[in-house]
C-alpha cells in the first residue's frame, strides 16, 4: 500500500494542512485537531482505500486506519508541521446544541440520584392519592423530605460535576453552591428584605433546584482560578488562590450570574401576563412548548408566582399549571417511547422509571437523564407538549386550587358552571401522552441499533446448525478467554463509534472490576502500544486480537499503566500482560470499558459471543469459527 498517496488524500479531505492545528495517533487512529471541523468530509474519508472508518469525537476528527497507523501518520506528518501543541481554534457553530451537550454531560453522573428521588416522589403521589398515607403523617413528612433533598440541593450536585467538566476545583465550586443556598440569604428573600454588596443591589432569587446559575458561576470560577494559579507565587498559593476566587466570583455570582434566570423569568412572566390578557390561548402553548428550558433555568418559578397572584385575584390559574400538565405528560410519553425503541438495556431501564415519574409530576430525572441527552426525544417532548398546550389554551382550562401537574391532580380542574373544564383537562392529558409517544417513536434514531442487531444475529447463528457439511480443515474454532474480570458489555453499547460499529472487527467489551489484564490464550505479543493502554496478540493458530483498556485513554500517555510484556514475547493463557490503576483512570475522567476486538475478523466464518453477563479469566467470551 502506498501510504504517501493515502496520506495526501486524508489530508486533503480533512481540509488541508492549514486546517490542522495538531496531529497525533493511537493504536488504530490518526487523531486530527482541526481549526474548522466542518471542512472535514467524513463520508469521503470513509470511502478512501486503506481507511476503515472515520468519526468526530472529543473535539477530534479520528481517521481509523488499523495496524498501519504509524506508517500513515509518518507520511501525513511529512506533508506539514502538524504535531505542535497548539490548541484548535474554537468553533462556535451549533452553539445551542453545544449548550445542551454540556448540560447533559454535567448531569450524567447524578442521573441515578435524580431517578431514585423521582421514584420516591412518585410513590408518595400514589400513596396519598389512593389514601394509603396521610399528608399529615410524620412518615409522609420524612419521605417527602428524602425525595425533595436532591432537587432542593441540586446546585451542590451540579457544582461538583460542573467543576469536573470545566476542570476546576470541586471544593471551591461547592462553596459557591453553599453561598446560593445559605439560610441567611434565603431568610432575606423570604422576609422581603433587601441586600447589597458595596452599594450594588443584589437580586434575591430562588436558587433551590436551579441549574443555570451554578453552572455559570463554576464556569467563571474556572477562568479566575486558572488565572490566579498562573500569577500567584507557589509559597502562598494554598490560601491566596481560593481567597481571591471567592472574593471575585462570589459577588459576581450573586449580583450578575445568579439572578439571570430570575430576572429573565420576571420579564417573561410580565410578557405572559400581557399575552394572557389579549390572547389567552397562546400562553399555555408557549409555556408548554418551551417548558424544558423554563425548568432547566428555573424561570418557571416566576410564572408560578404570577399564577398564584392570578388565582388570588380572580379565583383560578391559567398561566402555568395547564402548560405544565401538557409538558409533564408529553415528556412521560416521549421518554416511554424512547424506552420501547432503544436497544441499550441501561437506557431502557432508566427511561422506563423516569418516564413513569413524569406522570407523577416529577420530570427532572427524565429531563436530565434522557431528554436533554437525546435531542430527538427533546423535540418529541416539545411537539407533544405544544399540541396539548394549544388545546388547553383554546379550550381555556383553568385550575381552581393549587396542586402539582400529575395524573392524580386532575380534580384541581373541577370548578365553574359545568364539568367541561375537567373534561378538557383530561383530554389535554391524553393528547400530550399520545402525541409525545408517537412523535418520539417516529423521530427515534439510535446509531448503534444496526450493530446491536448484528450482535443479536451472531448469537442466533451460534445456535443454528450449518446447512452444509464443513470439512475438518475448515471447521476450526479458536476460543478467547476473558483477559479481565468484570461485567460483559455488548460491543454496540461501547461509547466509541469505531468499536460500536464493528469498524475494527467483531468482539466484546468488559467493564473491569480489577486492574489486571492477562493473556486470553497461548500465543505471541504482536504489539504493545507505547502508552501501554493497548496490546495486540496473535494466537497459535493465527487469531489476532486487540485489547484496548479504556476509552480514549491514549490521552493519559501511559500514566497509571504498567506493561509486563513486550513485542515478540511468547505468552501462556493467564499470564499477566499489564496492570492499571483503575481508580486513578476513572478519577481522571476516562471510561474503563475495555473492548476485545478480533482484528482479522474477515478471515473467519463467524465470531460468536459467549452468553454471559459476568466474566472471569476462565470464561470464554468469544469463539472464532473458520
Taking a C-beta distance cutoff of 8 angstroms, is the pair 216, 210 a contact?
Answer: no
Nearest CA to 569 among 544, 537, 617? 537
Contacts of residue 163, Cβ cutoff 8 Å, sequence gap at least 6: 169, 170, 172, 173, 218, 221, 222
How does DSSP assign 108-123, residue by residue?
GGGHHHHHHHHHHHHH
C-alpha to C-alpha distances, 443 to 278, 337, 383, 434, nearest whole angstrom: 35, 10, 11, 14
In 3-state terms, what secondary structure has residue 537? Answer: strand
Distance CA 327, CA 320 (A): 10
- 169-191 burial: b if 16+ Cβ within 10 Å, else e: beebbbbbbebbbeeebeeebee
- According to DSSP, the β-strands at 29-34 and 53-57 are unpaired
Distance CA 155, CA 214 (A): 6
The x, y and z cell numbers of residue 294, run together, are 423554563
In 3-state terms, what secondary structure has residue 609? Answer: strand
Q: Residue for cell digits 468499536?
A: 499
In 3-state terms, what secondary structure has residue 261? Answer: helix
* Packed helices 260-278 and 282-289: angle between N→C axes, nearest 10 degrees: 150
Catalytic member of 26, 65, 179, 407: 26
54 is catalytic: no
In 3-state terms, what secondary structure has residue 2? Answer: coil
Q: Where are the beta strands (DSSP E) in 125-282?
A: 195-197, 200-202
Distance of CA 583 to the CA centre of its chain: 21
Q: How many CA atoms does the CB half-sphere of 573 hold within 13 Å?
A: 14
Distance CA 581, CA 590 (A): 12
Taking a C-beta distance cutoff of 8 angstroms, is the pair 533, 550 a contact?
Answer: yes
Torsion sign (Cα): 457, 462, 467, 473: positive
Distance CA 55, CA 77 (A): 20
C-alpha to C-alpha distances, 54 to 44, 65, 498, 549, nearest whole angstrom: 9, 9, 8, 21
Distance CA 571, CA 555 (A): 28
Nearest CA to 80 among 7, 145, 2? 7
Angle at 429 between CA 427 and CA 431, to 5 degrees: 70
Q: What is the DSSP letter of 274?
A: H
Taking a C-beta distance cutoff of 8 angstroms, is the pair 335, 366 a contact?
Answer: yes
Q: Residue for cell digits 405544544?
A: 386
Catalytic residue numbers, as ranges: 26
Amino acid at each position: 500500500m502506498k501510504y504517501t498517496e493515502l496520506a495526501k488524500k486524508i489530508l486533503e479531505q480533512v481540509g488541508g494542512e492549514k486546517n490542522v492545528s495538531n496531529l497525533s495517533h493511537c493504536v488504530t487512529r490518526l487523531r486530527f485537531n482541526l481549526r474548522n471541523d466542518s471542512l472535514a468530509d467524513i463520508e469521503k474519508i470513509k470511502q478512501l482505500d486503506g481507511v476503515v472508518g472515520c468519526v468526530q469525537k472529543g473535539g477530534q476528527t479520528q481517521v481509523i486506519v488499523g495496524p498501519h497507523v504509524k506508517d500513515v501518520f509518518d507520511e501525513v506528518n511529512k506533508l506539514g508541521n502538524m504535531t505542535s501543541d497548539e490548541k484548535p481554534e474554537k468553533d462556535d457553530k451549533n452553539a445551542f446544541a453545544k449548550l445542551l451537550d454540556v448540560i447533559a454531560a454535567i448531569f450524567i453522573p447524578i442521573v441515578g440520584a435524580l431517578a431514585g428521588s423521582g421514584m420516591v416522589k412518585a410513590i408518595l403521589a400514589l400513596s396519598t392519592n389512593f389514601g394509603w398515607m396521610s399528608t399529615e403523617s410524620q412518615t409522609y413528612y420524612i419521605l417527602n423530605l428524602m425525595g425533595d433533598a436532591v432537587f432542593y440541593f441540586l446546585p451542590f450536585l451540579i457544582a461538583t460535576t460542573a467543576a469536573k467538566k470545566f476542570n476546576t476545583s470541586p471544593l471551591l465550586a461547592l462553596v459557591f453552591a453553599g453561598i446560593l443556598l445559605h439560610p441567611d440569604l434565603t431568610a432575606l428573600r423570604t422576609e422581603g428584605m433587601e441586600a447589597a454588596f458595596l452599594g450594588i443591589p443584589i437580586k434575591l432569587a430562588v436558587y433551590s433546584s436551579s441549574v443555570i446559575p451554578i453552572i455559570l458561576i463554576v464556569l467563571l470560577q474556572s477562568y479566575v482560578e486558572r488565572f490566579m494559579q498562573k500569577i500567584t507565587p507557589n509559597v502562598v498559593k494554598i490560601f491566596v488562590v481560593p481567597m481571591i476566587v471567592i472574593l471575585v466570583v462570589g459577588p459576581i455570582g450573586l449580583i450578575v450570574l445568579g439572578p439571570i434566570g430570575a430576572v429573565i423569568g420576571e420579564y417573561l412572566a410580565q410578557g405572559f401576563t400581557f399575552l394572557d390578557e389579549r390572547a389567552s390561548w397562546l400562553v399555555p402553548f408557549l409555556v408548554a412548548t418551551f417548558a424544558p428550558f423554563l425548568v432547566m433555568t428555573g424561570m418557571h418559578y416566576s410564572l408560578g408566582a404570577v399564577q398564584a397572584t392570578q388565582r388570588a385575584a380572580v379565583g383560578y390559574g391559567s398561566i402555568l399549571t395547564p402548560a405544565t400538565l401538557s409538558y409533564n405528560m408529553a415528556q412521560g410519553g416521549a421518554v416511554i417511547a424512547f424506552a420501547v425503541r432503544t436497544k441499550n438495556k441501561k437506557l431502557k431501564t432508566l427511561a422506563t422509571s423516569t418516564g413513569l415519574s413524569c406522570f407523577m409530576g416529577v420530570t427532572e430525572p427524565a429531563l436530565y437523564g434522557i431528554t436533554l441527552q437525546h435531542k430527538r426525544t427533546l423535540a418529541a417532548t416539545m411537539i407533544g407538549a405544544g399540541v396539548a398546550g394549544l388545546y388547553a389554551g383554546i379550550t381555556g382550562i383553568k385550575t381552581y386550587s393549587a396542586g402539582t401537574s400529575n395524573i392524580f391532580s386532575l380534580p384541581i380542574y373541577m370548578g365553574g358552571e359545568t364539568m367541561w373544564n375537567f373534561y378538557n383537562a383530561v383530554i389535554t392529558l391524553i393528547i400530550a401522552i399520545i402525541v409525545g409517544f408517537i412523535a418520539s417513536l417516529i423521530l427515534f434514531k439510535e446509531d448503534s441499533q444496526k450493530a446491536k442487531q448484528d450482535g443479536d444475529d451472531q448469537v442466533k447463528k451460534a445456535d443454528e446448525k450449518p446447512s452444509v457439511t464443513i470439512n475438518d480443515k475448515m471447521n476450526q474454532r479458536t476460543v478467547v478467554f476473558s483477559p479481565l474480570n468484570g461485567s460483559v458489555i455488548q460491543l454496540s453499547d461501547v461509547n466509541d463509534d469505531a468499536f460500536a460499529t464493528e469498524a475494527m472487527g467483531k468482539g466484546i467489551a468488559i467493564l473491569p472490576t480489577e486492574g489486571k489484564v492477562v493473556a486470553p490464550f497461548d500465543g505471541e505479543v504482536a504489539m504493545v502500544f507505547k502508552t501501554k493502554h493497548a496490546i495486540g496478540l496473535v494466537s497459535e493458530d493465527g487469531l489476532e486480537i486487540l485489547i484496548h483498556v479504556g476509552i480514549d485513554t491514549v490521552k493519559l500517555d501511559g500514566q497509571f499503566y504498567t506493561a509486563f510484556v513486550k513485542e515478540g514475547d511468547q505468552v501462556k493463557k493467564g499470564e499477566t500482560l499489564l496492570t492499571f490503576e483503575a481508580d486513578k483512570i476513572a478519577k481522571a475522567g476516562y471510561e474503563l470499558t475495555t473492548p476485545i476486538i478480533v482484528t482479522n475478523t474477515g478471515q473467519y466464518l463467524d465470531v460468536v459471543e459467549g452468553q454471559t453477563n459476568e466474566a472471569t479469566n476462565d470464561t470464554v467470551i468469544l469463539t472464532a469459527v473458520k
